[in-house]
């Protein structure tokens, strides 16, 4: 059964974000909590993990597109039991720490800023 993933509430009153990178492709099978997208808000670049595992049936967004909370980002089909890809191996820490890699994301930008300034 297809399931749609919408842009979640990113907190702090943010209502929209810009898609920076789509980290999966249509037809990919991913595990729950695998990196799905990177979005940029007024405050930071955030990695969005997949809320569930399955096959990516359709990607509804593209880099550079502005999306609002509640907009459909990706549609999934159910994956066969036990299906996973190497993408799922990295974020094995669970759903709660998924924001931790996102908070570390701005660090490379800070390094780039120092190098150019």
Please write the tens of the pLDDT for every residue from 13-37. Answer: 889 999 999 999 999 999 999 999 9
Top-level class of domain 3-116? mainly beta
Alpha-carbon torsion 12, 102, 114, 21, what sign?
negative
Looking at the chain, which runs of residues are DSSP E strands? 3-6, 16-22, 29-30, 35-40, 45-49, 54-59, 66-68, 72-77
> Mean pLDDT across the stretch 49-70?
95
Q: Over 60: is that where the pLDDT of 81 sits?
A: no
Could you report the per-residue pLDDT of 92-107, keeping only the tens digit for each? 333 333 443 444 444 4
Of 90, 99, 87, 109, the closest CA to residue 36 belongs to 87
> Domain spans of the chain?
3-116
In contact, 87 and 50? CB cutoff 8 Å? no
The first and second tokens of residue 74, run together, are 């990706």
Out of 14-18, 41-45, 54-58, 79-83, which region has the weakest mean confidence (pLDDT)? Answer: 79-83
pTM of the model: 0.64
């Amino acid at each position: 059964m297809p399931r749609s993933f919408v842009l979640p509430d990113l907190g702090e009153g943010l209502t929209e974000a810009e898609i920076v990178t789509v980290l999966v492709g249509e037809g990919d099978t991913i595990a729950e909590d695998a990196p799905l997208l990177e979005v940029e808000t007024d405050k930071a670049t955030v990695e969005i993990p997949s809320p569930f595992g399955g096959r990516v049936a359709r990607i509804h967004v593209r880099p550079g597109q502005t999306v609002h909370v509640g907009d459909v980002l990706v549609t999934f089909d159910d994956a066969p039991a036990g299906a996973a890809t190497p993408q799922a191996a990295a974020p094995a820490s669970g759903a709660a720490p998924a924001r931790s890699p996102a908070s570390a994301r701005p660090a490379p930008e800070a390094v780039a800023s120092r190098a150019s300034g």
